[in-house]
Structure formats: structure tokens, C-alpha cells
Amino acid sequence: MNKKYRKALIAGNWKMNMLPSEVKPFVDALKLELPKQKSCDVAICAPFVVMPALMKATGGSRIGLGAQDVSAHDKGAYTGEVSVSQLKDIGTKYVIIGHSERRQYHGESDELVNAKALKVLEAGMTPIICVGESLDQRERGLTLAHIEYQVKAALYGMSEEMIRRCVIAYEPIWAIGTGKTATAEQAEEICGHVRAVIRKISTARTARSTTILYGGSMNAGNAAELLSKDDIDGGLIGGASLKSADFAKIIAATAQ
């Protein structure tokens, strides 16, 4: 992390876990375990139906409300979709966009990721835009080119100010939910590459101030090493964000 230029962020991605009725006990425990020192921003991205309970339970705390997806449409006849204004209305601050599970299981394209990110920014919220290569792409030496394409496509048409308000999460698909974390060196190489791509399409100042996260089997044991790297400004945490003590330890690791 380089706290001189950027804000650190630890964001939980609960994916399709946690019942509304389970939220309060979880958050009450997490609040007790959170470090007193505020060395990073904290967010939890919950399923839509769980978000009101999370909002209620986290009220007045430092935990920001996040969603895991949003519609690219403003309103109207889009059954099953949720709009940015609906998210904004309940106090949402962060929206994950283009998670590999959405790209893979719901066919989300780079163009759709870009359209959603623009909507989130217009509404004054923070998109957490996910990029990452598959194992096959890594083995074929395509990682850098793939990441460059994803970053450029996601940030297409954005001003410097808009890019600076984005968070980019580098999540290698082979490290998600597998227990197989990228080494700190691998993660740093690609997070640095993301920053270099931003420098290329925008300015050095924008690249320096954009928050870039690592995600993929990050946990209480490996967080400190990953976060010690200059270009890794925080984490997007799946499994370990479902255990309050582990999530709190990852948050505490940003104090180094």
C-alpha cells in the first residue's frame, strides 16, 4: 500500500451467502473485533435482499454498504434487475462490477461492465471493477494483454476524475475460492500493470491515486504480506469476509 497517494480499502464480497436474519449477530461481532485505528476504508458487498439488514446493522459504524452488481438501465421494464437509483436510495456506497462469476455465469461483456461502471459513477457511488485472467490465459502467457484489454474496456470514455473515483480489483480467476492465493510478487506485478495501463490511457497523477485491490483467497494469514506491496491498496475478500474475526484481522493488517 502507498498511503501517501491512495486510500486503502478492505471490501468483503459475501457472494450468495448470509441470510438477512444472520446479519445483525455477524455485524455485532465484527464491530467488537474491528481495530480502533482507522487505517483503511471498510465495505461489505451483500446480496440485494440482504442489504437493508446490513444497512441497519452497520448504521453509524465505519462499514460502508456495498452491492455485488447493478443494472445498466435506469428504470422500467427490466424484470429482476436493480437500478443505481434504488441502490443509492438505501445508502449504498460501493458496487462490484464485472466480477468474474458474473462474466462467466451471466455472460457479462466488457462493454456491459463499462456501461454499469459509468452509471455507478454518475450516481455518485464507487464502482469496484473486477479484472482477472483464467489459469489457461496465465499458462499461455496472455495475462498482461488480457488485463490491459479488460482495464481499457472498463474505463472507456471516462475522464481523469472518473477513473480516480474507480476502484480496480485484480482477481485472478484461478485464485478465487480455491485456497490458491497468488504470491505477493505475482499480485504486485499485475496490480502494478493495472496502474501502468491507467497511466497510459490517462495521466500519471490519475494512476498514482487510483485504488487497486487484490482478491483471490486472501485471508488473515496472507493479508499482511500482500498488503506490504506498494501497488496493492487493499483487498476484495470472499470466503474470509464471512468470518468476522478473520475479516477484522485483514482490516487490522492495513495498519502496517
Distance from the Cα of residue 71 to its chain's centroid:
17
Torsion angle, alpha carbons of 142, 131, 19, 42, to 10: 130
Q: Compute the least distance from the CB of residue 240 to ligand 13P, in Å.
A: 6
Give the Cα separation of 147 and 30 in Å (integer). Answer: 34
Q: Is 171 in the site for ligand 13P (CB under 6 A)?
A: yes
Give the Cα separation of 78 and 80 in Å (integer). Answer: 6
Catalytic position from the list 99, 133, 188, 193:
99
Q: Is 13 in the site for ligand 13P (CB under 6 A)?
A: yes
Backbone phi and psi for residue 216, each to the nearest 5 degrees, phi listed first:
135, 95
Q: Which residues are within 8 A (CB) of 235 and not within 5 positions of it... i.e. 6 or more apart?
A: 10, 11, 213, 214, 215, 218, 223, 226, 227, 250
Q: Is 66 in the site for ligand 13P (CB under 6 A)?
A: no
Minimum CB distance to ligand 13P smaller for 174 or for 202 = 174
Q: Is 27 in the site for ligand 13P (CB under 6 A)?
A: no
Residue 11 three-state SS: strand
Minimum CB distance to ligand 13P smaller for 13 or for 126 = 13
Minimum CB distance to ligand 13P smaller for 41 or for 206 = 41
Which one of residues 227, 237, 250, 251 is an interface residue with ligand 13P (CB under 6 A)? 237
Which one of residues 64, 66, 98, 239 is an interface residue with ligand 13P (CB under 6 A)? 239
Size of the site for ligand 13P (CB under 6 A): 14
The stretches of the chain forming alpha helices (DSSP H) are: 20-33, 51-58, 84-89, 100-105, 110-122, 135-139, 143-154, 160-164, 184-201, 204-209, 223-227, 244-252
Q: Compute the least distance from the CB of residue 145 to ligand 13P, in Å.
A: 22
Catalytic position from the list 101, 108, 133, 171:
171
Whether 139 is catalytic: no
Which one of residues 215, 220, 248, 252 is an interface residue with ligand 13P (CB under 6 A)? 215
Distance between start and end Cα atoms, the chain: 9
Q: Is 172 in the site for ligand 13P (CB under 6 A)?
A: no
For residue 7, the one-letter residue type is: K
Q: Compute the least distance from the CB of residue 176 to ligand 13P, in Å.
A: 4
Which one of residues 66, 98, 172, 216 is an interface residue with ligand 13P (CB under 6 A)? 216
- Mode of pairing for the β-strands spanning 63-67 and 167-170: unpaired
Pick the piece of the chain touching ligand 13P (CB under 6 A) from 157-165, 199-207, 209-217, 221-229: 209-217
Whether 148 is catalytic: no
Instruction: State the residues that interact with ligand 13P by CB under 6 A.
Output: 13, 99, 171, 176-177, 215-218, 236-240
Catalytically annotated residues: 99, 171
